Chains A and B, each alone.
Chain A
Amino acid sequence: MLLLVGVVLMVGWVSLASTAAERPTLGDPRALLVLLAMLAVVHLVLTVDGRRRDQVLLPVVGLLMGLSVLLMSRLPQDHVIQRFGSLELPLASLQLLWIGLSLGIASFIAVGLRDDLVLRSYKYTWAVAGIVLLLLVFVLGDETNGARLTLHIGPFAGQPSELLKIILVVFLAAYLADNRALLAGQDSRLGPLRLPPLLYLLPMLLIWGLALATVVIQRDLGAALLFYGVFLLLLYVATQRRDLLALGVVLFIVGGVALYAFFPHVQERVQIWLDPFATAQGAGFQIVRGLYALGRGGVLGTGLGAGLPGVGGAPSIPAVHTDFVFAALGEELGLVGSLAILALYAVFAERGLRIAAGARDEFRTLLAAGLTLVIVVQAAIIVAGNAKLIPLTGITLPWIAYGGSSMLAGGIVLGLLLAVAVEDRPGAAAERIGWRERVGDAARAAAGRVERVVR
């Protein structure tokens, strides 16, 4: 599978380099080769680890990461420059760094997490830690574009909300798993609704509500939408109760209307969404430029590297490396390309949900489902925002958009999913062949081949 990914990415790279040089050329594929090498290493680690696990996740994520590298290489490199002491890293290299760290974390978790007690037993601790992190940003964070999202520690800037979404999924999965039976009950009533005992519903709601409120106050509306959506869906998965889901949707609409009524910031966002062309030079500028890009892309796209006509040296789409990566890819790869990217996320979703369905216990099921949802719903929100189907929010396209925190969080998700994805079958223990032996086997097999050829 990885080989296929490698081929696809190399084709993309050649196309990009050729467009830039206006003749067929290989360009300087170091960045891509580094990525492929890293993916190969991860695969090796997982194989050596010995346990059978899902084979599709890594290639899918790898392909998405590869697209990211391609796009970041294609954009003007001075878009983002991070300095580490005397070392300056421009856009593509920086993204590659994040990808590398992300894959490292993924491998570590995938292989190292044998026991989920750490996650499970300390769910409240995790939740509290998450909230503390959020409050830290609220107090100490930097404001960009009217939203306090970033925390600077030394030379690093991070967005804790990315980490928070994972922590809260872990918490929720654990809580729901523990109290599932009770939650499915119908002991307390709220008017015509039969709700689970409030006592059990409350802590969960409270902590989740706290997270949401903080996010809303910090104006990270995209994250708020994500949290709420994932929360509702996980609740539904855990309790199977459609009426709770309906109630959640109603509350969402009520909340949305209230937000619209009370916050001019929200009103502005909705206005821009409804008619961005009216303010095409002002507030609607971003989304209008994004739409132009999608229009330019048409069905087949302009070709990697051939789109994004720059005006005055700047790319034609603002925030092209974060909020609008999808529009940029949509322009260069066309409708066909955008649908392919959506398909990749869909495949990821299918895998993730399948892993969830086949997981060994309820906690793992909910964890896998929650993590899958967090990625897929996030992708849906930002793609819908780019395509003017919902108001634009400032969240990233997982594994493709530029962002250290986003990429690292994605790596954690990948790692956790791979950890859960271990296929446990009866007698699996017997299949845990030690890694030393596997290496030995592989070496012997290779040597045997050589022997046969020489003979």
Chain B
Amino acid sequence: MAPALLRVGFGLFIVFAALGVGLGWWGVVEAGRLTADPGNPLVLAAREAPRGEIIDARGVVLAESVKDGEGGFMRHYPHPEAEPLIGYLSPRFGASGLERSFGPELLGIGDGTGGGLLRKLRRDPYDEQDLLLSLDLRLQRRAMRLLRGERGAIVAIEPSTGRILAMASTPTYDPNAVVAPTTGAAYFQALLDRPEEDSALLDRATRGVYTPGSVLKMVTAVAGLGSDAITPQTVYPTQPAEEKTGMPVEGFRVRDGHHPQTGEEALALTDATAASCNIYFAHTGLNVGGEPFLDWGARLGFGAPIPFDVPTAASTLDGGDGFVDDVELANAAYGQGQAQATPLQMALVAAAIAERGSLMAPHVVDGLRAADGSIDRIEPSLWRQVIDRGRAESIARAMRAAVESRLGRPYAGKAKIPGVPTAGKSGTAELGGKGEPDSWFIGFAPANDPQIAVAVIIEGGGTGSEAAVPIGGELMGDWLALGP
């Protein structure tokens, strides 16, 4: 029986080795992911532990831990204008925003391996880190002021790096009131009781999905030029007539007619952009084709949640189920139909064109600073090379014309920054007769060497030029005027 015993012993050894490998899998390979998981009791249990600060680009503290008088710590938010991006941390109501998604880093338990190996030798597992943001509080304040508490959002991004300069959403809430021990519950309940469309907890900038209206035409332009369905000189000879009669698409008629000043002239890209011509872009969308249109949209980030430092909602061109017919495609091509976009997504569209075809990965966390002062920087990275420089330049020129040319001035002229070449596109998103349309604007400045790209939406703001356009221009102007 001895040989059999030997074999059994050997078999056991194999089994134990397998167990060892399995344990190693969890203890080494997956350790980082497990420890950083928000559901990990380590994160949950540490709600009253001190965590790192959240700091804006110029060193202003946006969130900090203060003693709560009972031996623990609570969070204090000196500048609630940065909500809902910063979020809140409440032992009772959990965490949201950056406080949630960067909870493990703020607590200092982010990485379970590597440098963490040596850290394990220390008794204390907490190694708080500060979040260094690219957000500039001065710009953020301006953005909040410009929104005037109306329902809407502003996203401002630096096109060359993808750094978010401001991200505002209104209505918003006061996080200090949420975490206050005595009054927090009532305050939070009041927030929850608000009607959904008036929610103060929703981050409209990243998760508000809206019909984009004419600002989406820039996506159509990208798709049209990128797929070579059109060139900057392409015109549609039937377009002027269709302005009056409507453009027939499978029995449906695409209506336009809001730029009679162009008369009988068939418009090419620049003029069609400036005049915001529905017919032109409907034709272009049909020429590109449904599937290619979706592909080009995907290059810009449509179709899936944009990877970002807080959760985002996905924008879509087709509602997620494909273009059921040409009518839907044509309508989506000028920003109606089933197209839906978040302000962040439209800001990325502006940034991609501003950066002449290169879309940098959006991020608001610039780096993590450890207690010893060492900084772990998050370098800007190219997310997508959407189209080549030449084609992007044509679109950028068209957008500049939309703000500065005589044809474009009635629509986006109010975004013009005095003395600075400004580019942009207005949008008026019809909501099917339910009140005022949403007012949109996307743009970048200076047009030749962009420092900032924005997307602005004001729910029910009327036409683009009434609400969003002047806000966009003023914000961009403010940024350029701000010193370091």
Contacts and interface: CB of A to CB of B under 8 A. Distances in A.
Interface size on B, as a range, is 35 or more
A301 interface: yes
Contacts of A81: none
Contacts of B16: 342, 345-346, 380
Contacts of A334: 27, 120
Interface string B1-36: 111111111001101101110111111101111110
Contacts of A297: 27, 31
Interface stretch (A150-158, A220-228, A309-317): A309-317
A228 to B, nearest CB: 15
Interface stretch (B42-50, B195-203, B353-361, B448-456): B42-50
| SS class, residues of chain B in contact with chain A | helix
Contact of B1 (A240, A339, A384): A240
A353 B4 contact: no
Given A299-B117, A300-B117, 8 more contacts: A237-B5, A291-B34, A342-B16, A356-B5, A369-B1, A380-B12, A384-B22, A387-B19
Contact of B27 (A238, A298, A357, A383): A298
Contacts of A366: 1
B13 A298 contact: no
A346 B13 contact: yes
A311 B12 contact: no
Interface of B: 1-9, 12-13, 15-16, 18-20, 22-28, 30-35, 37, 39-42, 44-46, 112-113, 116-117, 120-121, 123, 125
B463 to A, nearest CB: 47
Contact of A335 (B8, B12, B27, B46): B27
Contacts of B112: 295-296, 298
B421 to A, nearest CB: 52
Given A240-B3, A342-B19, A357-B2, A292 B42 contact: yes
A388 B4 CA distance: 30
A296 B35 contact: yes
A298 B8 CA distance: 31
A297 B3 CA distance: 39
A187 interface: no
Interface in A292-328: 292, 294-303, 306, 309-311, 316
B45 A362 contact: no
19 contacts: A236-B7, A240-B3, A292-B40, A294-B23, A295-B33, A295-B34, A296-B112, A296-B125, A309-B44, A310-B45, A311-B44, A345-B16, A346-B16, A357-B2, A357-B5, A369-B5, A373-B8, A380-B12, A387-B26
B41 A311 contact: yes
Contact of B12 (A310, A346, A389): A346
A165 interface: no
Given A292-B42, A299-B120, A240 B4 contact: yes
B120 A300 contact: yes
Contact of A298 (B2, B15, B22, B116): B116
Given A288-B39, A296-B34, A346-B12, A335 B23 contact: yes
Interface in A230-281: 233, 236-238, 240, 280
Contacts of B117: 298-300
Nearest to A18: B123
A75 to B, nearest CB: 15
A19 interface: yes
Contacts of A362: 1
A369 B8 contact: yes
A330 interface: yes
A387 B117 CA distance: 21
B18 A311 contact: no
Given A300-B120, A311-B45, A295 B1 contact: no
Contacts of B2: 357
A376 B46 CA distance: 38
Listed residue (A295, A350, A369) with the most chain B CB atoms within 10 angstroms of its CB: A295
Contacts of A295: 26-27, 30-35, 40, 112
Nearest to A240: B4
A338 interface: yes
Contacts of B25: 387
Nearest to A345: B16
A365 interface: yes
B19 to A, nearest CB: 5
Nearest to A369: B5
A65 interface: no
Contacts of B35: 292, 295-296
Interface residues of A, number: 51
B120 A301 contact: yes
Nearest to B113: A298
Contact of A306 (B8, B34, B125): B125
A294 B27 contact: yes
A353 B8 contact: yes
Contacts of A280: 39
- What 9 pairs across the A-B complex have the smallest Cβ distances? A295-B34, A316-B41, A335-B27, A309-B45, A294-B26, A300-B120, A387-B22, A295-B31, A237-B4
A238 B1 contact: yes
Given A298-B120, A369-B5, A376-B12, A389 B18 contact: yes
A81 B1 CA distance: 46
Contacts of B3: 240
Nearest to B125: A302
A187 B26 CA distance: 49
A355 to B, nearest CB: 10
A19 to B, nearest CB: 7
B5 A299 contact: no
Contacts of B44: 309, 311
A376 to B, nearest CB: 6
Contacts of A346: 12-13, 16
Nearest to B45: A309
A109 interface: no
Contact of A302 (B4, B6, B45, B120): B120
A289 interface: yes
B26 A237 contact: no
A92 interface: no
A349 interface: yes
Contact of B24 (A291, A335, A384): A335
A380 B5 contact: no
B128 to A, nearest CB: 16
Interface in A329-345: 330, 334-335, 338-339, 342, 345
B31 A298 contact: yes
Nearest to A292: B40
Contacts of A238: 1, 4
User: Which residue, B39, B42, B44, B117, has most C-beta atoms of chain A within 10 A?
Assistant: B42
Q: Which of B4, B24, B33, B121 has the most CB of A within 10 A?
A: B4
B326 to A, nearest CB: 40
A294 B33 CA distance: 12
B27 A309 contact: no
A341 B7 CA distance: 22
Contacts of A380: 12, 15-16, 19
Contacts of A309: 41-42, 44-46
Contacts of B24: 335
B45 A316 contact: yes
Nearest to A317: B41
Contacts of A339: 20, 23
Nearest to A358: B2
B40 to A, nearest CB: 5
B20 A296 contact: no
Contacts of A353: 5-6, 8-9
A364 to B, nearest CB: 11
A358 to B, nearest CB: 9
A236 B6 CA distance: 11
B429 to A, nearest CB: 38
Contacts of B31: 294-298
A191 B101 CA distance: 62
A366 B8 CA distance: 12
Nearest to A285: B39
